[in-house]
């Protein structure tokens, strides 16, 4: 049982996930500081409040005779924080990875297109060439003879025929 747990922990994707969680936590702290220190005060100033979470407060009466507060500013702050995180993830991670994927795909396709030019003839093509050379006539599939060997065989080859005396 411990061996299986050790294999699970040492898998690459578990370690990658752990690194992603740590980096995500650190990144969340940066985004929280950015939102609470810069964006919330700016938006809060628009609504005449010291920070966004204290803006847009609606007071409603309760059944017991007291009041309750609905904090629309806090919801707006959370939405802004989410949009900032989404924008950073998109522009810092998704766009570069998509660009690198396109480059890798184009390179792979270029290599695949160049590869067929260097492919030697298949066994069937070689057999057709041999048959055509032995028959001395081109086949209906096309002339598969090699120019240098076809000319040498027909012009001055040693065919075993009678020689002039």
Confidence (pTM): 0.48
Share of the chain above pLDDT 70, in %: 78
Residues 31/85, Cβ–Cβ less than 8 Å: yes
Q: What's phi and psi for 60, nearest 5 deg?
A: -125, 150
Q: How far is CA 5 from CA 1, 14, 15, 118, in A?
A: 6, 12, 13, 49
Q: Which residue has the higher pLDDT, 16 or 109?
A: 109
Distance CA 135, CA 33 (A): 85
At 32-82, the pLDDT tens digits run 787 778 877 787 787 777 777 777 889 999 999 899 999 988 888 888 878
CB 51 within 8 A of CB 41: yes
Q: Please, what are the domains in the chain?
A: 2-103 (1.10.1200.120), 123-153 (no CATH)
Q: What is the pLDDT of residue 141?
A: 65
């Amino acid at each position: 049982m411990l061996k299986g747990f050790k294999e699970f922990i040492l898998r690459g994707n578990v370690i990658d996930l752990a690194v992603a969680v740590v980096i995500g936590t650190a990144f969340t702290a940066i985004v929280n500081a950015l939102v609470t220190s810069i964006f919330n005060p700016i938006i809060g100033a628009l609504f005449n409040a010291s920070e966004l979470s204290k803006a847009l407060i609606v007071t409603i009466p309760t059944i017991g005779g007291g009041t309750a507060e609905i904090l629309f500013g806090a919801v707006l702050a959370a939405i802004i924080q989410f949009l900032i995180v989404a924008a950073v993830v998109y522009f810092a991670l998704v766009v570069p990875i998509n660009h690198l994927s396109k480059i890798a795909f184009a390179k792979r396709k270029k290599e695949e297109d160049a590869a067929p030019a260097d492919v030697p003839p298949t066994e069937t093509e070689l057999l057709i060439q041999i048959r055509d050379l032995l028959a001395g006539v081109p086949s209906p599939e096309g002339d598969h003879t090699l120019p240098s060997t076809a000319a040498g065989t027909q012009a001055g080859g040693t065919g075993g025929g009678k020689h002039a005396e």
